[in-house]
Structure formats: structure tokens, C-alpha cells
Amino acid sequence: MGLTKTEIFTDEQNQLATLLKAMAHPARIAILQRILISNTCICGDLVGELGLAQATISQHLKELKNAGIIQGTIEGVSVCYCINPKTWKLLETQLGAFLGEYKGETACC
Amino acid sequence: MGLTKTEIFTDEQNQLATLLKAMAHPARIAILQRILISNTCICGDLVGELGLAQATISQHLKELKNAGIIQGTIEGVSVCYCINPKTWKLLETQLGAFLGEYKGETACC
DNA sequence: ATTTTATATTGCAATATTACGATGCATCTT
DNA sequence: AAGATGCATCGTAATATTGCAATATAAAAT
């Protein structure tokens, strides 16, 4: 079918899955790293740095924006992107709780 | 095309993307949470608890296993699954470094 | 040996993703 | 006003994902 049955899962599970999915692509990880490294907004520079076409990068940026992970502001001719602090904090919290739930050392398999 | 251009990204970016992708589905998050909560192996109980068909769950388990996130051992008739400590630790390290790279408060957009 | 039980695999249909060229749409420059 | 610049969007092709019924496989019980 190709259609996820979201209705049988909790809102938290769906939300975390959506956020992870938005990041689950090397291009989008590269984009986020680029924004994180410069610690400011990134205006356009992305095209040319990654080896992808402009249309493709625009599409990846859109996905990150739709997931609420980044936000963009029009700055004259170009558009500036930066991390959305609120979502990033949510991500840290949710993922931290999720990953931290593993109490290791029980290795039964 | 539908085919990711992995060759233009670093191994780290591709690896993290693969791990995130393996977790980026509510059913797989639910499966992992189920394993984490009981803090032991889970044998079969999954079918019936989630509202998905047996074939579907088996497929999700396979994806988690392929990504190295869980491991399974045949236990008589059934199969026991548990977290792969090595991958889980890798995930904590990589994701921690990635998420922690955000030095917030610069909000320029 | 046959049946039951638990999981895996196969085949299929519906939908989603990835990538790009072409094109549209603002804004800035001249 | 007429380019030039920087993104976004559309359309399209190739491939991937999701979900399930049906079937296969393997071990345990009868």
C-alpha cells in the first residue's frame, strides 16, 4: 500500500517518526550540519557545496521546514535558513528519553 | 529517480541516515519501545499487541535487524529479539554529537 | 508421521521518495 | 524598463516503502 497506518500508534510515536524521517537522508543531515557549523543562518551557499541540483536541495529544505526542524526568512533576493530552536529542543528531549531507556548489560540474545 | 546519491556524502552522514531511517517509522519505534520497556528479549508477543499483520511486523523486525539495531536468537519455536548494544551506543554517540552541535540562542531568522 | 505453532518469505497493489530539467516569480542591479 | 539572481514549483522517471494474503519453513507436540 505504501501508506503508514498512523492511527494505530500514539501521537508521540508518530511525531518522533516524522522528525526522524525528516532527518533520515544524508543530504538533509549534510544541510543541517552546514547550518550547525556556521552557527548562523545559511543563505543559498548550499547549492554548489553539496553535489545536488538546485531543485533537489530546495526540495530537501522544504522537507526540513515542513517538519519544523528549520525555518527560513526571505533576505532580499535570497532566503536564510536556521535551526528552529523549539523543534531542536523537542528532538533532544524525545530522542534522549527514547535512547536513554536502554539499560544495557542485560544482553540475553 | 528514487535513488539516493550516497557517493557524494561522507560515510558518517550515510551511516547516520541509515540508522535514522531504520527508526523512522511509528511501528518500528513501537517495537523498540516494547523491547526497551521489558528490558529483555521479546519473543513473538509483538504480533497482536501492535495492530499490524504478522507479515508486516516480521518485515519491520527485519529492517531493524538489517540496520543492526536489534539482534535475534532462535529460541525453540519462536525468535527472541533484543537491542544490539554496540549499535545503540553508536547511535547515542553519533546523535548526541549531532544534536549537541547546536549552540542555540543565535536565533537570526 | 502428522499436526500445530511461530516466524520468514514471496508476490502484489498502492503510495512515497529521490532527483532533475524546465519554468515561474520575486527582488535587486543597471 | 530590462536583465540578472536566487529560490520555489511543476512535471516526470526511476526506485523505495508499506501493508497484507498466501505460502513456505522449521521446531515442538501429539
Amino acid A35: pLDDT: 94
Residue B103 scores a pLDDT above 90: no
Amino acid A86: pLDDT: 94
Identify the CATH class of B13-95. mainly alpha
Residue A105 scores a pLDDT above 90: no
Q: Show residues, CB within 7 A, near nucleic chain D.
A: A 1-5, 43-44, 47, 54-55, 58-59, 61-62, 72, 77-79; B 1-3, 21, 24-25, 27, 52-56, 59-60, 63, 74, 76-77
Q: Which residue has the cell 551511516?
A: B15
CB–CB contact A109 B26 (8 Å) = no
Residue B106 scores a pLDDT above 70: no
Residue B43 buriedness (CB in 10 A; 0-12 / 13-18 / 19+) = middle
For the segment A48-96, what is each residue's pLDDT rounded down to a tens digit?
899 999 999 999 999 999 999 999 998 888 999 999 999 999 999 999 9
Given A91, A103, A104, which is nearest B99 (Cβ)?
Answer: A91
> What fold characterizes domain A11-94?
Arc Repressor Mutant, subunit A (1.10.10)
Q: Which residues does A37 contact at the CB level (< 8 Å), separation at least 6?
A: B101
Which secondary-structure segment (H or E) carries B75? strand B70-75
How sure is the predictor about B91, in pLDDT bands with cuts at 50, 70 and 90? Answer: very high
